[in-house]
């Protein structure tokens, strides 16, 4: 039974809605992002634990995991690696070292280190659920988003390996591949895209699958993206 969850990228969009829904379904949740003000508002609204961490910093994932463990008084049952971004669209000729490093750090390094910390606690318990939020760009890469496509494909590769390592220990691992969702992810409003609460519901529901079912890969899109 999943009773506690650590959620990254929880100060906005899909992650914020995941926290609302998990709290509404009775889980104790540790929410994180960088924006302390939005996390504080979410804590007041839902009663979750909340603390800011910048996952671009190398020591942040381990410190975050320890903070969540201390808040719960035990290792989390669920870890949702949801933090991510596509800071700008640009051709390969314009890429900078700094944006490559930041995308790697938040999307891959943080998710891998949080998965490592979680697996170390979940293996002896023989239970747990790790969810990694990638994107439909894993299935269809697009121009002018090469870094985003690259790190999400890397997260997919990591997740598939993790699925295979976790299986013998009774630990569930899910890769999530959402299509367009109307969040702060992009500067313009996209009312034709999925609402963040809808994407969150798809993700949260995987935690409530029957015990003998693992959702390995969850792909979903808005109607406007059905031409793939
Ligand atoms: N929206 C879409 O169309 C779409 C489609 C497919 C996949 N996704 C994926 O879904 C996930 C959630 O995205 P969203 O649409 O909800 O976007 P969002 O509203 O922009 O939320 C992104 C979250 O990631 C956090 N974050 C970014 N950089 C961080 C850092 N250095 N350290 C810690 N947290 C950081 C942000 O926190 P702060 O703002 O507090 O820094 C925020 O909570 C992402 O992984 C995204 O790639 C989104």
Question: How do residues 149-203 score in pLDDT, each as one tens digit?
Answer: 999 999 999 999 999 999 999 999 999 999 999 999 999 999 999 999 999 999 9
Residue matched to tokens 């509404």: 24
The CB of 82 under 6 Å from ligand 1? The reply is yes
User: Atom 46 of ligand 1 has which residue's CA nearest to it?
Assistant: 84
| φ, ψ at 181 (rounded to 5°) | -130, 135
Question: How do residues 1-50 score in pLDDT, each as one tens digit?
Answer: 789 999 999 999 999 999 999 999 999 999 999 999 999 999 999 999 99
> Residue 226: what pLDDT?
80
Question: 124: CA distance to ligand 1 center in Å?
Answer: 31
Which CATH number goes with the domain that contains 218?
3.40.50.720
> Residue 31: what pLDDT?
98
**Residue 8 Cα: closest atom of ligand 1:** 34
Q: Give the Cβ contact number of residue 56 at 10 Å.
A: 17
Question: How do residues 96-135 score in pLDDT, each as one tens digit?
Answer: 999 999 999 999 999 999 999 999 999 999 999 999 999 9
Residues involved in catalysis: 148
Question: 83: CA distance to ligand 1 center in Å?
Answer: 5
Report how many domains make up the chain.
Answer: 1
Q: Give the Cβ contact number of residue 185 at 10 Å.
A: 18
Q: Binning pLDDT at 50, 70 and 90, where does residue 228 land?
A: low
Asked if residue 66 has pLDDT above 80, the reply is: yes
**Residue 102 Cα: closest atom of ligand 1:** 31
Q: Which of 10, 14, 68, 104 to mutate to test the pocket of ligand 1 (most atoms within 8 A of CB)?
A: 14
Q: Specify which residues 181 forms β-bridges with.
A: 194
Question: 152: CA distance to ligand 1 center in Å?
Answer: 12
The CB of 106 under 6 Å from ligand 1? The reply is yes
Asked if residue 227 has pLDDT above 90, the reply is: no
The CB of 11 under 6 Å from ligand 1? The reply is yes
Residue 196's domain comprises 4-225
């Amino acid at each position: 039974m999943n009773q506690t969850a650590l959620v990254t990228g929880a100060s906005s969009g899909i992650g914020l809605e995941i926290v609302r829904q998990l709290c509404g379904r009775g889980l104790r949740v540790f929410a994180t992002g960088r924006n302390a003000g939005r996390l504080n508002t979410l804590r007041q609204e839902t009663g979750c634990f909340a603390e800011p961490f910048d996952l671009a910093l190398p020591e942040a994932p381990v410190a975050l995991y320890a903070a969540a463990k201390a808040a719960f008084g035990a290792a989390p049952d669920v870890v949702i690696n949801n933090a991510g971004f596509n800071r700008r669209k640009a051709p390969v000729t314009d890429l900078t070292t700094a944006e490559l490093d930041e995308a790697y750090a938040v999307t891959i390094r943080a998710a891998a280190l949080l998965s490592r910390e979680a697996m170390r606690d979940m293996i002896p318990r023989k239970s747990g659920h790790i969810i990694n939020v990638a994107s439909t760009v894993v299935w269809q890469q697009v121009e002018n988003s090469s870094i985003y496509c690259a790190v999400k494909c890397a997260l997919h590769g990591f997740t598939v390996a993790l699925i295979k390592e976790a299986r013998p220990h009774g630990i569930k691992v899910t890769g999530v591949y959402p299509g367009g969702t109307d969040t702060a992810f992009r500067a313009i409003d996209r009312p034709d895209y999925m609402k963040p609460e809808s994407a969150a519901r798809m993700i949260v529901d995987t935690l409530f699958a029957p015990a003998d079912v693992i959702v390995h890969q969850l792909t979903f899109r808005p109607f406007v993206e059905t031409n793939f």
